Amino acid sequence: MIYNFEVPTPNGQHDFTISSGSSLIFVGANGGGKTRLAVHIERSNLENVHRISAHRSLALDPAAPKISGHLARKGLKYGYPGEDVVVGHKNVHRWKNKLATHLLHDFDFVIQGLFAEQSKIALNTHNAAHSGSNDTPQKTKFQILISAWQRLLPHRELIVMGDDVNVRSSGAADQYSASDMSDGERAIFYLIGQTLLADEHTLLIIDEPELHVHRSIMSKLWDELEAARPDCAFVFITHDLEFAASRLAEKFVIRDYAPNDGWTIEAVPEDTGFDEEVATLILGSRKPILFVEGADTSLDIAIYRCCFPNTTVIARGSCQDVIHSVATMRKNASLTRVTCAGIIDADSRSDEEVDFLAQIGISVLPVSEIENLILIPSVSRAILIAENYGLDEVERRLTTLKDLVFAQLEKQSDIENVVLRHCRRQIDSVLKKLDLSATANVAEMQTAYDKRTIGLDVGQIAEGASSLIAKGINEKDLEGLLRIYDNKRLFALAARHLTDRSLREFESWLTRTLGSDKAPELKQAIREKLPEIIFR
């Protein structure tokens, strides 16, 4: 079956087509008009559309009064289990005339529909057995639900009886009522039940399918449900990028919504050079994109989001990944409406390399790694002030920390390790820039390799790094040393002597403080040490 609907946009109506057995996904940020889009699609064809709202109650009552399957399905579809209720009553009974905001409270209809169908099939099977029929008994929707449940949640067993549902831990004897299940378990039960009970050839709209469902099983859940209802089509409306990327479906980003103009929607292209999750995030961003090193859970992200609040910060892992991301995005025609830039650690880069990176949209930190920012005296001072130390104590702690840092920096074993890491980075940088794709044979490849690496004098690189470290130590130039010196122990020293906290506690404190408005001087001190970012 083919389902068609139109969505108003600033450029006119956008036509969408989806067929049974397929899916369509809309991704958007909070406040982007996702629920209103779900309402709009439902109203385009009330008879063949069933919408599961994001505002849904998960109150499960296995003892809900039993009614006929016909009336239960009426209640589920229209919001009222009456013989004379029709599709025109859906807005009043199901949504109480608040289509976007009403709390959907239809779990009882799910339970009633499942029990009614089970009773009907059980009676038919009973009568057939007494008449001597050897036909294979029909599976109930409860049995299909239980099979899917066991594959998703093997540690929990559903025990469905004639008029009740209990649960027990796998292998345990004790049972408890299904009403006492966790929110996640009840959400899974509800979504499976809703999907199984939907009329044939229905367009199912699921608003925020990720609610209460753990990410580890979310994709498996919808694999089960789409497989169970090949006669239906699915429209998912979500803000979960990981979920969207995990599904095989047409995907669209909701960039904006205005009541008079409609929705600004863009298809997620397949050839962006990014995985779908990142491409969707870029397309959905209303701000410039800042690519940075690190992971989404790292301190780097907390610092960059604090200092560049008017950007969408995307962690890309290594410096090479950041450079590649900026270059890819700026070359991709489908993404060029969004500006971008990148920022990476200094990693002992030469002035020439810093200038070259600036030309391609990459800014370089003034320190070897972002944690070193905390050891810059102006930033350390701001941390002490945020901790409410008096001026004398601030100066004492700054002096103590500086002495301890230089004592650490003067250890010959530490210097040798820093020099080794510096040499590795320099060699790695040269090799990563080595492009041998145009060589036609081994001899050409060898020539190209020799030409590119002939100037790679490891001894000279090491001597240069050692000289920089010695110069910084002799001149007590802490900021100069932090540009080349990468040692996580320095960050631990800062944690202990600036705030009397362990490293883990200090990271948590710093993340919380930067995310609040409690220490504007600290934010300003860090921002002043970060390079200028030019988006284009």
Per residue in 29-67, pLDDT (tens digit) is 888 899 999 999 999 887 889 999 999 999 999 989 999
- In SS3 terms, 5-67 reads as EEEEECCEEEEEEEECCCEEEEEECCCCCHHHHHHHHHHHCCCCEEEECCCECCCCCCCCCCC
Domain with CATH 3.40.50.300 in the chain: 2-267
For 390, the token pair is 């008096």
- Per the structure block, which two tokens stand in for 194? 């809703």
Instruction: Please list the pLDDT of the chain residue by residue as tens digits (536 residues).
Output: 899 999 999 989 999 999 999 999 999 888 889 999 999 999 988 788 999 999 999 999 998 999 999 999 999 999 999 888 888 888 899 999 999 999 999 999 999 999 999 999 988 888 888 888 778 888 999 999 999 999 999 999 999 998 899 999 887 889 999 999 999 999 999 999 999 999 999 999 999 998 888 888 888 999 999 999 999 999 999 988 888 888 888 999 998 899 889 999 988 887 777 877 888 888 878 789 999 988 776 778 888 888 898 899 998 888 888 988 898 888 887 777 788 999 998 877 778 888 888 888 899 999 888 888 999 999 999 999 988 889 999 999 999 988 888 887 777 777 788 788 778 877 777 777 777 777 888 888 888 888 877 777 778 878 877 777 788 788 888 888 888 777 778 888 888 888 888 888 888 888 888 888 888 889 899 999 998 888 88
| DSSP 3-state of 236 | strand
289 within 8 A of 330, measured Cβ to Cβ:
no
Q: Are 290 and 341 in contact (CB under 8 A)?
A: yes
What b/e string do you get for 50-70 counting C-beta neighbours within 10 Å, with b at 16 or more?
bbbbbebebebebebeebebe
Q: At what angle do helices 107-130 and 141-152 cross, to 10 degrees?
A: 120
**Superfamily of the domain at 2-267:** P-loop containing nucleotide triphosphate hydrolases (3.40.50.300)
CB 197 within 8 A of CB 110: yes
Q: Please enumerate in sequence order all residues whose Cβ is within 8 A of that of 95, keeping only pairs 6 or more positions apart, or say none.
A: 79, 102, 104
Locate tokens 């669209």: which residue?
A: 252
Contact criterion met (CB below 8 Å) for 379 and 522: yes
Q: Residue 222: which residues within 8 A CB-CB, separation 6 or more? A: 209, 234, 236, 247
Taking each helix axis from N to C end, the angle separating 183-197 and 69-78, rounded to the nearest 10 degrees, works out to: 110
**Using an 8 Å Cβ cutoff, are 150 and 179 in contact?**
no
What is the enclosing helix (H) or strand (E) of 384? helix 377-386
Longest Cα–Cα distance of the chain, Å, equals 101
Distance from C-alpha of 342 to C-alpha of 319, rounded to nearest angstrom: 9
Q: What is d(CA 372, CA 261) in angstroms, rounded to the nearest whole number?
A: 48
| Rounded Cα–Cα distance for residues 49 and 18 (Å) | 12
- Residues 340-395 have pLDDT tens digits of 999 998 877 778 888 888 888 899 999 888 888 999 999 999 999 988 889 999 99
The rounded radius of gyration (Å) of the Cα atoms in the chain is: 31
> Each residue of 241-260: b (16+ CB within 10 Å) or e?
bebbbbbebbbbbbbbbeee
Strand locations in 131-228, DSSP E? 156-160, 165-169, 176-177, 203-207
Residue 368 · residue 533 · CB < 8 Å = no
Helix H or strand E segment including 112: helix 107-130
CB contact at 8 A, 192 and 260: no
Residue 495 CA to residue 506 CA, distance in Å, equals 5
pTM exceeds cut of 0.75: yes
Q: Which residues of 484-513 are buried (b: 16+ CB within 10 A; e: fewer)?
A: bbbbeebbebbbebbbebebeebbebbbeb
